[in-house]
Amino acid sequence: MHLQIVRAWASGEPPGAPVYRQIADQIREHVRSGELSDGDRLPPIRELARRLGVNRDTVCSAYESLAAEGVVDAQVGRGTFVRSRWPRGALGQLAREVTLSKGTERLLDLDRARVAYGAGRDAIPLHALVPDPRLFPVEAFRRALARAFRDHGAGLLEYGAPEGYAGLREALAERLRAAGTMVGPEALVLCQGASQGISLAMRLYAEWGDAVALESPTYHNALATLASQGLRAVSVPMHSDGVDLDALDRTLARPEVKLFYTIPSFHNPMGVTTSLAHREALLGIAARHGKAVVEDAFQRDLRYVGRPLPSLAGLDQEGIVVQLLSFSKSLFPGLRAGAVLARGRSVDALLALRGATDLGGALPLQVALADFLRSGAYDRHLSSLRRHLRARRDAALEALAAHLPPGSRWTRPDGGCQVWVELPEPLDSRELHADALRAGVLVAPGFQFHHDGHPSRGLRLSLARADESEIREGVTRLGRVVRERLAHAGLPATAAVHV
């Protein structure tokens, strides 16, 4: 079986399909042509990766995509085999395959390129920003939901307005004004968490083929939103103090770039928070170029160190900022509650887009959340949650200092649920992920947070789901894996870490 890899981008857009798809397509063609027969065993992942000069995860993704199509069958402990019975249409012999849209194909490519965590169900979870159910205020919210039905009855089970429940918008506006963002409820459109907010905000200002500026690294689901909407990502590098403002100035000067998506507080994945001066300079650049700024404030309530800073929306004097709010990390994700803050015609456009998307959200949850906010239960929950996150952050920082080798660096967040770690050269966090998984700890390798998926020494550690003892043990295992990798590369890894 002969396979040929066309190397992807040196710069700009890739000239061909992602490498894992090239591998899968060529294997599929070998099966279709008969060169590979029923029951033939494919080369082991490690062997094929070595022959092709690619990462093992790349070959793994190719095999997984073929297995999902039914072309091959992966048998634990034995290998991967060409299936003796193909499902109808799997190889295009019995039925013509329905063509998916270009946006959907791009989204599938992005999704398949991510690492798989299924084998690590019992491992220490330092990979995902999924809140810890042990900290959910279940009983308090159940009482709020009961009061909502008691007071509103069957009316809660009808369609809601596109802008969402007025009582919740009023409660949110009060909280925003208390934090220095002087808006009323008319500036808020409720949505299904910040994820839907990102989609709505992108559609406000950009259409198929346009470009969107983003920080690099950035939130990987923002990249997925761009892919699904046919938008091109233009990366602006991040530094320890925030996005590179000179690079942002040059990027927003380009006419095809329609907006800038940013996470100025508790950045995902880096955890950093920008200064007031940086925020003011950023807004000045965007205003000078007449470009919108989408501020993702999904963790705005999770500061546990220092004084709060004004948000970009609070500083905005030109009406160019759209702010995304969410309760998925500060309360629980199943609530699917968030809001988009905008001004002027952008609010009318949001209402039209929201109405065309899902005819409004779940009224029972919106009414219950409004009650939860006004009763003081949310602030009591936040007080407890912040203490837990502060303790978890401190445990992570102590463990990183104790167990990671020289050349390692990490951020020291003032809030939120993530710490960004830069590994020593020449390590690649994607390769390290597989070793960490075998050691029983899950981490999020940095390539997933770059639009082109380029190799990265960075990885994100999540504080959301693991407690202090789990974090200490997870970082201990991670440090052991890093040192073993360095030793394998012939580099020293015995001295104390320098931050």
**pLDDT tens per residue across span 120-143:** 567 899 999 999 999 999 999 999
In degrees rounded to 5, what are phi and psi of residue 317? Answer: -110, -5
What is the per-residue pLDDT for 303?
A: 97
- Pull the structure tokens for residue 302: 């999770």
Span of 54-58, 110-114, 283-287 with lowest mean pLDDT: 110-114
- Pull the structure tokens for residue 461: 């550690």
Domains, the chain, ranges and CATH?
A: 19-98 (1.10.10.10), 123-134+380-488 (3.90.1150.10), 138-376 (3.40.640.10)
Residue 475's contacts (CB-CB under 8 Å, 6 or more residues apart) are: 126, 396, 399, 400, 403, 404, 441, 461
Determine the 3-state secondary structure of 110 from DSSP. helix
What band does 76 get if pLDDT is binned at 50, 70 and 90?
Answer: low
Q: What is the C-alpha to C-alpha distance for residues 188 and 207, in angstroms, rounded to an integer?
A: 23
Q: How many CA atoms lie within 13 A of 387 on its CB side?
A: 6
Q: What is the C-alpha to C-alpha distance for residues 416 and 392, in angstroms, rounded to an integer?
A: 11
Strand partners, 260: 213, 293
Check: pTM over 0.75? Answer yes or no: yes
Look at residue 94 and tell me whether its pLDDT is greater than 50: no
* CB 212, CB 206: distance < 8 Å: yes
Question: What's the average model confidence in pLDDT over 52-63?
Answer: 81
Look at residue 157 and tell me whether its pLDDT is greater than 60: yes
Q: Where are the beta strands (DSSP E) in 179-326?
A: 188-191, 211-216, 232-239, 242-243, 257-262, 292-296, 321-326
Residue 315's contacts (CB-CB under 8 Å, 6 or more residues apart) are: 279, 280, 283
- Pull the structure tokens for residue 213: 């500026």
Residue 178's contacts (CB-CB under 8 Å, 6 or more residues apart) are: none
379-391 pLDDT, tens digit per residue, is 999 999 999 999 9
247-260 pLDDT, tens digit per residue, is 999 999 999 999 99
Query: DSSP state, 135?
Result: G
Query: DSSP state, 310?
Result: P
How many C-beta atoms surround the C-beta of residue 177 within 10 A?
13
Q: What is the C-alpha to C-alpha distance for residues 296 and 403, in angstroms, rounded to an integer?
A: 33
Give Cα 238 to chain centroid, integer Å: 16
* CB 133, CB 335: distance < 8 Å: no
Q: What is the C-alpha to C-alpha distance for residues 287 and 316, in angstroms, rounded to an integer?
A: 9
